[in-house]
Structure 1
Amino acid sequence: MGPREFDPWSREFIDDPFPAYAALREKHPVCWFEPTAQWLVSGYAEVQAALRNPALGRSQKHRAAFVERSERMRSFSAEEVGFWHKQFSVLDEDPPLQTRLRALLGPPFSAREWQRKRGRYVERARALAEPFVAAGGGDLVSALFQPLAWALVGEAVGVPEEDQPMLAGLSREMTEALVPNRTPEALVAAARADQEAVAYLLGLVRARENHPGDDLVSALAEAKRSGVLSEEECGFAAVTLFLGPFDSAAGTSTIGWLSLLRHPDQLQLLRNEPGRFRAAIEELLRYDSSVHMFERWALEDAVIGGVRIPRGSEVAVLFVSANRDDAYFHAPDELDLTRARGGTSHLAFGTGWHGCLGPVMGRVQMEAAYTALLAAAPHYRLVEEPRWGYGYNLRHPLSLLVEV
């Protein structure tokens, strides 16, 4: 298989991308992919190197180098150009600004804060799981994983509970336009959703300027008050802080439970030995997660895996592929909750300057949901194989139908 045969939009790939990733890693761990005009980076060592190379970043200056030299950008429609620029968040900037922002935004995402909240979220998950079990099953995405994500992300950001479903709906519309093969209709819907979300969240920022809390909107209000961020930057940052964690948290929790349903011996092991819970979550994150690809742009020429990537190039870093690399993980296609090596070495949350701001939140959601499900019923059965969405960069089940 060569890179020209890599087809991340095919139904076969969306249903099971791992054979294609294995073929890429074996023959082309760093390669040019003409259909998206990107360099694909798929091996574990190569992905680590790309994420830690300062020449490959997401800041305005990295993006400017791409815009200056990109033939692909010149083929974009006006709507695509506008949406591409709106995807930038000040949170993508490099240190020292990013260091200051993470210091401001870090406390609501800290391990101490989320462990303090853990018991409350387990109870919330139980309140969702018990009626689901009493009804004999249904769709776990809409019944548990999405509502729990709304609660966790909404509280961390500072979105009132009654507004969380509305903002989550806007988030999904924006997410559907992030895939490389997005439609013009999806772009129009995403642009409208983005405007609504920014306007709503900026209203929260303004309200918190006089009445701060311990949430991320309050931290952004302080950044605005102190002159670190403009009001416009606060709005875009707030959208990023809600959109990213909500979609990936719900998706990754769903994928993890699907992996357990497909490996009943591992699910039984988790039920029998709850002390393995946290290590098990790391293995589930390694085995599969929702964020498959994220872009970087080359500010200068960079060499990754012995391949020269020219200045101005767009680089697609394939996290999930790296987590299945047999050069780093033993028998990587096996789900093994007793895996000794793995811990925090997987790349489900990225690494380096632009690693995920809220990995603890994602882990707490998985632990709360799975604890509640295991307490609520002894057995679960997958009714049918799920349909996956949205594309190869963001991939997770749209529903998960189970019987109890």
Structure 2
Amino acid sequence: MTKSQVVFDPFSEEYFNGPWDIYRRMREETPVYYNEAEDFYALSRHEDVSAAYKDFATYSSAYGLDLAMVRSGEPPPMKMIILMDPPEHRHMRSLVNKVFTPRAIEAMRPMVTETIDRYLSAADPTGFDVVQDFSAYFPVDIITTMLGVPEDKRQQVREWVDTSLHREPGQIEMSDEGMAAIAEAMGLYFQLIQERRNEPQDDMFSRLVAAEIQREDGGVESLEDFEIAGFATLLGGAGAETVTKLVGNAVVEFARHPEQWQKLLDDRSKIPAAVEELLRYEPPVHYNVRRSMREVHLHGVTIPEGKPVFLLQASAHRDPDAFTDPDTFDIDRDRTEAQNLGFGYGVHSCLGAALARMETAIALERLLDRMPRYEVLWNQCERVAMQNVAGWSHVPVRVL
């Protein structure tokens, strides 16, 4: 048997420009991929990726989410819910769940709608950059408003997040600028948490400061400042990036598939299904990295204990063993065929998934009103070069 020549380099220009053919070859030729140069493994088939997301005892989140963090072999110093395994994760999740109930999210709808309308109305009605003039701004504005960040600091949070996630081709470690950006964000959050402890307001920082949960021994537990700051850093990053990229991806894919856009123009009730198909077909998050906590034997390959393992949900979404015609963008596809991993799966399924879905659906509704007919200026489109996150930094359109 000849050795596969597939090269999966998640920090290469080829990868940033669209890794779908790489994913296909990985699924077919090397479903447990090993990168010798960087000493990591990757799972690409839906069955394997979804099983790994549910098996936190084997594939741990406690060592980080990216290659640089996981291969250090040390749990990161920051306390974030996404960097925890049960039972610690369970306690933290039950605390923060209190501010993400379906009722709490639905109560945000007027604010979400107003924010989206405000940014879209400021864009040139004859043509604009969907990302730079619209989707880069409203998601971070929404999530930081919910947190309780002052208005003059909200877009600064987005800039800090972008700086921390940016990777030049070949760059694995976070840059010094990225580290400084994270420190700036944490500093802001610490300051706001202290202010809320002294003077609570109607915001998420105040609710997280006040949140309490009864432990099994009957005692009461609350969150410490550094835990709330870590959660805010995570929320600010996820809230700023996923919807920004999902809306940009949406405009690109509907331009490539105008018959699907027409379906939405004919029937707005299909918008939620369109959001699900976008999450499957062109998700904003392509992977998360886990640490193997024991030796794993899969498809004739042994993954040793203590290795970084990429869980490629974007590849899983194009697996023909999971989805019929997976490379076809179809908002009417059967949703029951396989699990959509766009917002994670298992204990780490995204806390803000309902909010992100709401934001994206409202944004699509408004874009249907604003530009029922449009064309993308393809020669001016640019992709991002980021860790974990995929999508477009520039999607200029002309409204017809």
TM-score, length basis structure 1: 0.87
1:96 alignment partner AA? P
Number of matched residues?
387
Partner of 2:18: 16
Partner of 1:34: 36
Distance 2:279 2:389 in 1: 14
Distance 1:108 1:343 in 2: 32
Partner of 1:217: 205
Partner of 1:173: 163
Alpha-carbon RMSD across the aligned residues, in angstroms, is 2.8
Partner of 1:164: 154
Task: Quote how far apart the aligned CAs of 1:335 are.
Answer: 0.6
Q: State the Cα deviation string for residues 283-311 of structure 1 (Å, max 9, x = none).
A: 11111112111110112223445543221
Residues 141, 155 of structure 2: 8 Å contact kept: no
Task: Quote how far apart the aligned CAs of 1:320 are.
Answer: 0.5
Residues 27, 44 of structure 2: 8 Å contact kept: yes
- State which drifts further: 108-117 or 198-207: 108-117
Distance 1:286 1:346 in 2: 6
Residues 133, 376 of structure 1: 8 Å contact kept: no
1:48 alignment partner AA? S
Find runs of 4+ consecutive structure 1 residues off by over 6 angstroms. Answer: none
Q: Give the unaligned 5+ runs of structure 2.
A: 214-219
SS in 1 for 2:128: strand
Task: Quote how far apart the aligned CAs of 1:113 are.
Answer: 2.3
1:97 alignment partner AA? E
Distance 1:91 1:387 in 2: 30
Q: State the Cα deviation string for residues 198-250 of structure 1 (Å, max 9, x = none).
A: 11001111111133345432244236997544433332232112112211221
Partner of 1:108: 99
Partner of 2:193: 205
1:195 aligns with 2:183: yes
- State which drifts further: 206-215 or 330-339: 206-215
Partner of 1:78: none
Partner of 1:289: 283
1:396 alignment partner AA? G
Distance 1:237 1:208 in 2: 15
Distance 1:3 1:101 in 2: 43
Partner of 2:315: 321
Structure 1 residues 320 and 26, CA, compared in 2 at 3 Å: closer, same or farther?
same
1:5 alignment partner AA? V
Structure 1 residues 296 and 88, CA, compared in 2 at 3 Å: closer, same or farther?
farther
Residues 8, 391 of structure 1: 8 Å contact kept: no
Distance 1:371 1:121 in 2: 13
SS in 1 for 2:159: helix
Distance 1:7 1:324 in 2: 19
Residues 387, 398 of structure 1: 8 Å contact kept: yes
Specify which of 146, 171, 195 is matched with residue 136 of structure 2: 146
Q: Which residues of 2 match residues 36-51 of structure 1 at below 5 A?
A: 36-51=38-53
Q: Which residues of 2 match residues 52-63 of structure 1 at below 5 A?
A: 52-53=54-55, 54-59=57-62
Residues 253, 365 of structure 1: 8 Å contact kept: no
Task: Quote how far apart the aligned CAs of 1:401 are.
Answer: 0.6
Q: Which residues of 2 match residues 315-394 of structure 1 at below 5 A?
A: 315-342=309-336, 345-385=339-379, 386-391=381-386, 393-394=388-389
Partner of 1:99: 90
Residues 198, 236 of structure 1: 8 Å contact kept: yes
TM-score, length basis structure 2: 0.87
Structure 1 residues 392 and 343, CA, compared in 2 at 3 Å: closer, same or farther?
farther
SS in 1 for 2:41: strand
